[in-house]
Chains A and B, each alone.
Chain A
Amino acid sequence: MSISFFYALAGVLLLGNAVLTALDNSHPRRLASSLFWGLYGLLFLLGDWLPPMLCGALVLLMGLLGGLNLVKPKAHQEPDAKAREQGALRLGSRLFWPALCIPAITLAGSLAFPWLKEQGFDWVSGNATLVSLGIACVIAFALACRLTRESPLQGLKENSRLVDAIGWALLLPQMLATLGILFAKAGVGDSVASLVGEVLPKGVEFWAIAAYAIGMAVFTMIMGNAFAAFPVITAGVGIPFLINDYHGNPAVMAAIGMFSGYCGTLITPMAANFNLVPAALLELDDRHGVIKAQLPTGLMLLGANILLLWWLL
């Protein structure tokens, strides 16, 4: 079992949404939306075979279609409230089983496949957790169809309803990861580290600590990813000041430094898969609703991290 099978499956689901969008006569942005989802599915299916430059051109086109707000949801019939109440009465807690199947099977698979590999049964190529998630979703889908007596086609329609709810934000996490790669290739890290080094007042340990933690959070907010900020700020501020000048404990610096980055992750729209996608998925009116809920936690934790660094370093 390989991960490319599930890429193909996701590609088919996305192409399905493109077809359903194209068939919707009342859709306000039928062509652009259908093209967006069609390209998305196509790249999922054929990404490994198409030349990277062509993929890049198609990704750029998708970025512009979504970025210029040309991707809109279909006019959905939300599932009828009365039917939902009746379903809850009829099926009761059995409704939970397929949903709980997903984490349970994912967990079982991600523990079992590496163990089986040690025993000589190498059944999975690629990341065992992702393959397990894929298998879990397929099994849960079969179970859900059986339990609710709905057709798989209805499942495709429900998938399309929820994909529409996420909309162009679905592309954002991938674009951000790509932006991180471009930033790295262009040497953004070196520029930022040299900039921070120049403005940092010398000789006061507390300022160096604060600059390290806050720098990590702010750069994470810009990059959307603490993994990208960590090497930059640690090389620029952490190692020269906290380790070389003040002889701090590198394990404390690294652990709390990365967590300071995570505080930034909580309060930036650039961390799209954690902040913007759930806002769309939960149908919040405010795109930044999740970020606003996290802002006090993020700021208080950043303060706590600075104090912890001050005490423990």
Chain B
Amino acid sequence: MMDAVSYWPLLGVLVVVVGFALRANPLLVVTLAGVATGLAAALPFTQILRYLGEGFTHTRTLSLILVLPLAVIGLLERNGLREQAGNWIGRFKRISAGRLLALYLLAREVTAALGLTSLGGHPQMVRPLLAPMAEGAAGKAFGPLSHEEQQRLRAMAAATDNVGLFFGEDIFVAFGAVMLMHSFLTENGIDVEPLHIAFWGIPTALCALLIHGSRVLYLDRQLAKGWLRRPR
């Protein structure tokens, strides 16, 4: 059975790996990899174009959720939303940047586990609120932030949203990933309750909370000692 498998389709994977090794523009890499994969599988070019077109049309939601909130966020930013987010958090003396991010991580993971995945997100939560609040809290404690510190806080804010979302949502039975695992195992003759799959996600979800939570709390220490002042 193994002999019948063709290795030609791996050409597309190779294009991806080489493209990233050369640090080429990711969009170019992905576009070329798609065309190369189609050609390696001996698909006619017109068929490749058809897949590209259908793929774009079927995945428009991915861009939709990024674009729609931008006009609102932009208008509010022009009128001081980010400044206000920073000022507001400064009123709470006990909330440091790290504690704020740890709290957000917990809230994001719990709400995602309850199926409320739309309560966060980069355009509507991280850029206008979470990142400026983290910067505001750190600025209040340690004076004006250096460019490097600001960049690091923003990156960690984005990372915290991702980690909370990813490792929370699989605990929710109705989430797509659990149903995907369930239907795949059933197709392969393995009978498993979706509830059990969701349940065995909990240990990893707790590890994610512990590991990333400690990392964001450690940020406070790094900021206090001035370790992030300079580029590393």
Contact = CB atoms under 8 A, between A and B. Distances in A.
Interface of A: 3, 6-7, 9-10, 13-14, 43-44, 47-48, 50-60, 63-64, 66-69, 79, 83-93, 95-96, 98-99, 102-103, 106-107, 110, 127, 129-130, 132-134, 137, 140-141, 144-145, 147-148, 150, 154-159, 161-163, 166, 168-179, 181-183, 185-188, 190-192, 194-195, 197-198, 222, 226-227, 230-231, 234-235, 239, 243, 249-252, 254-256, 258-259, 262, 265-266, 269-270, 272-279, 281-286, 289-290, 292-294, 296-297, 300-301, 304-305, 308, 312
B67 A170 contact: yes
Nearest to B38: A182
The 9 closest A-B pairs by CB, nearest first: A158-B74, A67-B28, A178-B55, A55-B53, A88-B80, A56-B49, A87-B80, A63-B31, A56-B53
Given A239-B188, A290-B158, A144 B37 contact: no
Contacts of B52: 55-56, 59-60, 178
A297 B212 contact: yes
A253 to B, nearest CB: 9
A6 B68 contact: yes
Contacts of B200: 249, 251-252, 254-256, 312
Contacts, number: 440
Contacts of A297: 159, 163, 208, 211-212, 215
Instruction: Give the interface centre of B6, B41, B131, B162 by most chain A CB atoms within 10 Å.
Output: B162
Contact of A289 (B155, B207, B208): B155
Given A69-B25, A272-B26, A308-B207, 9 more contacts: A103-B118, A107-B119, A133-B65, A137-B72, A161-B74, A173-B62, A175-B30, A292-B155, A308-B204
B71 A95 contact: no
Contacts of A169: 26-27
Given A162-B74, A186-B12, A300-B211, A47 B56 contact: yes
Contact of A301 (B16, B27, B204): B204
B12 A255 contact: no
Given A9-B68, A188-B10, A259-B170, A99 B74 contact: no
B103 interface: no
B31 A60 contact: yes
Nearest to A193: B5
B190 A98 contact: no
A161 B59 CA distance: 24
B116 to A, nearest CB: 6
B142 interface: no
Contact of A53 (B12, B46, B126, B204): B46
A163 B84 contact: no
B183 to A, nearest CB: 10
A137 B208 contact: no
By DSSP majority rule, is chain A's interface helix, strand, loop, or mixed? helix
Contacts of A269: 20, 26
A3 B64 CA distance: 10
A97 to B, nearest CB: 9
Contact of B163 (A144, A185, A294): A294
Given A161-B74, A301-B208, A304-B207, A285 B151 contact: yes
A173 to B, nearest CB: 4
B152 to A, nearest CB: 7
A266 B51 contact: no
B209 to A, nearest CB: 10
7 contacts: A43-B56, A88-B87, A181-B51, A251-B200, A262-B167, A279-B158, A282-B157
Contacts of B62: 173-174, 177, 273
A186 B72 contact: no
B176 to A, nearest CB: 8
